[in-house]
C-alpha cells in the first residue's frame, strides 16, 4: 500500500496481513483522486472516511493537504494500525474512531466537505448509506458522498446521485445535494480503463 501524491508521496505502508480488509487498489485510488482534484481544492478539506480499514484513503487525503480527516472503523486492529501509521508520518490532523459506522451516523456530527465510504462488499445496509448521510445533513451544501461498492449495487435512481466511475473491478458512486457540483450531468460515466 502506498501514498500516491502529496507531502508523503511514494510512502510505502505495510499494514498487518491479518486485518481482513480490502484496500482500494492503487489504480482505483489514482482515478478517484483525479476526479476529486478536478472539482475540489484539496487544501483545507474536512473529510469523513467510513469503514476506513487500512486508512489508505484517509492517508491520501491528509498527504494532499486536507485540514482534517476522521476515520471510522469497528475493527480495533485497524484503529491501532491507523493510529500508529499516522503518528509515524506526523499526521496529527487524522483522528481515528473505533465505532460501528451505522451507530456513529446516528449521532450529531460536524459537517464535512467529502464523505467517503468503503463498506464490506457483502454488507446488506450499503444501499441505505446515502439516505443516512443526506437526511442527517452531514455534508456542507454541495459536499460529496463517495461510496465504493460492487457492480451489483446500482445507486443511479437515488435523487442525489451524480455519477459512477469504475476502475477495473472497483466501482465508485458519487452523490451531492447540488448535482451540478463537479459534474456535467448525472449520467453514469466509465473510466477509459474499463472500456
- Residue 179: the pLDDT is 65
Q: In sequence order, what are the beta bridge partners of 14? A: none
- Residue 1: the pLDDT is 75
**Locus of grid cell 494500525:** 81
pLDDT-derived band at 76, boundaries 50, 70, 90:
very high
Average pLDDT over residues 38-67: 95
- Residue 182 pLDDT greater than 70, yes or no: no
Lowest mean pLDDT among 9-13, 52-56, 159-163: 9-13
Return mean pLDDT, the chain: 87
- Residue 9: the pLDDT is 76
- Residue 141 pLDDT greater than 90, yes or no: yes
pLDDT-derived band at 155, boundaries 50, 70, 90:
very high
* Tally of CB atoms within 10 A around 48: 29
Q: Which of 168, 163, 164, 157 is nearest to 185 (CA)?
A: 163
Domains of the chain: 26-194 (3.40.50.150)
Average pLDDT over residues 80-92: 92
- Residue 195 pLDDT greater than 70, yes or no: no
- Residue 186 pLDDT greater than 80, yes or no: no
- Residue 178: the pLDDT is 83
- Residue 190 pLDDT greater than 70, yes or no: no
Q: Which of 7, 32, 10, 27 is nearest to 117 (CA)?
A: 32
Amino acid at each position: 500500500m502506498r501514498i500516491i501524491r502529496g507531502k508523503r508521496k511514494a510512502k510505502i505502508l505495510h499494514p498487518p496481513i491479518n486485518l481482513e480488509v480490502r484496500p482500494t487498489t492503487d489504480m482505483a485510488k489514482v482515478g478517484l483522486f483525479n476526479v476529486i482534484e478536478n472539482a475540489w481544492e484539496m487544501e483545507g478539506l474536512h473529510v469523513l472516511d467510513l469503514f476506513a480499514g487500512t486508512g489508505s484513503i484517509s492517508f491520501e487525503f491528509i498527504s494532499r493537504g486536507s485540514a482534517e480527516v476522521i476515520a471510522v472503523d469497528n475493527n480495533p486492529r485497524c484503529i491501532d494500525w491507523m493510529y500508529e501509521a499516522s503518528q509515524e508520518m506526523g499526521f496529527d490532523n487524522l483522528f481515528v474512531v473505533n465505532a460501528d459506522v451505522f451507530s456513529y451516523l446516528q449521532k450529531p456530527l460536524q459537517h464535512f466537505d467529502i464523505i467517503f465510504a468503503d463498506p464490506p462488499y457483502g454488507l446488506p445496509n450499503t444501499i441505505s448509506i446515502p439516505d443516512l448521510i443526506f437526511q442527517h445533513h452531514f455534508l456542507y451544501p454541495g459536499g460529496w458522498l463517495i461510496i465504493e461498492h460492487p457492480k451489483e449495487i446500482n445507486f443511479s435512481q437515488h435523487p442525489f446521485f451524480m455519477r459512477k466511475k469504475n476502475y477495473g473491478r472497483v466501482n465508485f458512486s458519487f452523490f451531492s445535494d447540488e448535482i451540478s457540483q463537479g459534474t456535467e450531468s448525472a449520467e453514469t460515466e466509465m473510466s477509459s480503463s474499463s472500456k
